[in-house]
Amino acid sequence: MSTFFIAGTDTGVGKTHATCALLHALRATGRSACGMKPVASGCTQTAEGLRNDDALALQAASSALMPYEWINPIALREPLSPHLAAAHDGVEIGLAPLHEAFLRLRDMHDAVLVEGVGGWLVPLSRGLLASDIARQWQLPVVLVVGMRLGCLNHALLSARAIATDGCRLVGWIGNLIDPDMAAVEENLTTLRRMLPAPCLGVLPHGAPPHEAASRLDLDAILE
> In degrees rounded to 5, what are phi and psi of residue 73?
-65, -35
Percent helix, percent strand, percent coil in the chain, to nearest 5? 40, 25, 40
CA distance 94 to 51: 20
DSSP state, residue 215: G
CA distance 110 to 50: 28
Determine whether 37 is an active site residue: yes
Catalytic residue among 24, 37, 83, 148: 37
CA distance 170 to 55: 24
CB within 8 A of 6, min separation 6: which ones?
Answer: 15, 18, 19, 22, 113, 114, 115, 116, 141, 142, 144
- β-partners of residue 128 are 125
Residues catalogued as catalytic: 37
